[in-house]
Amino acid sequence: MSSIIDDLKQEYKFGGITQRLIYWNIACFIVSYVIFGLLQIDFLSFVSLSSNPADLLWKPWSILSYSFFHSDFIHIFFNLIVLHFSGQLFLTFFTQKQLLGLYLLSALFSGAVFVVAFYLMEVVSPIVGASGAIMAILVATTVYQPLMNLRLMFIGNVKLWHVTVVVLLIDVMQLRLENSGGHIAHLAGAFFGFVFIKFLQNGTDLSKIVSNLFDFFVNLFTKTESKPFKKVHRNYQKPVSKPASRIVSKDKTQQQIDEILDKISKSGYDCLTKEEKEFLFKAGK
């Protein structure tokens, strides 16, 4: 039992942001059902997002918390499969911080679109689930690399855009059926994923909104030693402007880390060589 817990800890520590998002969703699912089972409290009512804007006054956290909770096992099971699939594809081209930023921002956007749409239709209903954020990750990757080849079981080789179009069509066809609010959130997330990549290609990284916010709070609670002021005279040289890269690319160290983490996710931590374990240990400091 202890070895299983140790393996889970290693996977959480070195598995990257996709693995951590999966763990966070599972933890939230377990917490909601344990509280409901032991205390008979409908915990989802406190974390779900209501289409009634007035409900945000007493639970403002729900605009984001809804995207980490799920209604049942089937709901979370399929969502986490797609999250793992789309997250790994996204990290082929972008960074961990960009993935986290996209997840959180698209969850906020999808939730806002759901509230506005149902309010205009005069329908009051709650929503939970990470589908909107997950759709944003899938569509963002597709917009950036639509012709990526995928090999699917029982189907064979397909293009990434083929998979994404099928998923979107399913949502569109089910808009007027049950859970229309969920499908509205899915499509809103897909739209945000498209916008995210277009902004990125034009030189604006929207995920920095989240990164800068996290950095602000980290620096706020981190003590820094005050250093005496020193006046330094230097010869001024006019800086040479260099064209900024429109897409944030990962350096060689991050690429090596991602390759090792992918190896862990496929075969486990014990399959690593001694050199790979030492590299991960040094990189984690």
Domain that holds residue 50: 2-212
**Total structural domains in the chain?**
1
Q: Which of 162, 58, 140 is nearest to 95 (CA)?
A: 140
Look at residue 248 in the predicted model and tell me its pLDDT: 46
Look at residue 237 in the predicted model and tell me its pLDDT: 55
With a CB cutoff of 8 Å and minimum separation 6, the contacts of 228 are none
- On whether residue 249 sits in a domain, the answer given is no
- On whether residue 224 sits in a domain, the answer given is no
CB half-sphere exposure, 23, CA atoms < 13 A? 13
Residue 37: CATH number of its domain: 1.20.1540.10
- On whether residue 20 sits in a domain, the answer given is yes
Look at residue 236 in the predicted model and tell me its pLDDT: 47
- Profile the chain (285 residues) by mean pLDDT over runs of 10 residues: 66 79 93 80 88 92 94 90 93 93 96 93 90 95 92 83 91 76 89 96 92 83 57 52 49 72 67 71 63
pTM, to two decimals: 0.75
Give one DSSP letter per residue of 123-174, joined into a string: ---EE--SHHHHHHHHHHHHHH-TT-EEEETTTEEEEHHHHHHHHHHHHHHT
- On whether residue 131 sits in a domain, the answer given is yes
Look at residue 53 in the predicted model and tell me its pLDDT: 92
- On whether residue 176 sits in a domain, the answer given is yes
Please give the Cα distance from 190 to 164 (Å, whole number).
10
- On whether residue 40 sits in a domain, the answer given is yes
Whether the CB-CB separation of 130 and 25 falls below 8 Å is answered with: yes
- On whether residue 227 sits in a domain, the answer given is no
- On whether residue 285 sits in a domain, the answer given is no
